[in-house]
Amino acid sequence: MKDESTETTKEQSPVKPFYLFIAILIIIFFFHYCGSTH
């Protein structure tokens, strides 16, 4: 059971930063779009 937990954490590790990068990119794009409209 402990081995499975470690594998799940390893698989989820590369997924978290990926989503975070997309979220930051969307936020930056949104802010840039808002700034351009203003």
Break the chain into its structural domains and give their ranges.
2-37
Length of the chain: 38
Give the up-direction half-sphere exposure of residue 33: CA atoms within 13 A in the CB hemisphere.
Answer: 6
pLDDT at residue 35 in the model? 83
- 29 is written with which tokens? 């794009």
pLDDT at position 17, please?
82
How far does CA 28 lie from the centroid of its chain?
A: 13
- Return the sign of the alpha-carbon dihedral for residues 28, 31, 34, 38: negative
- Burial label, 21 (beta-carbon count in 10 A; 0-12, 13-18, 19+): exposed
Q: What is the pTM of this model?
A: 0.48
pLDDT at 10: 62
Residue pLDDT, tens place only, 1-38: 566 655 555 666 667 888 999 999 999 999 998 887 66
Local structure of residue 24 (DSSP, 8 states): H
Q: What pLDDT is stored for residue 36 in this prediction? A: 78
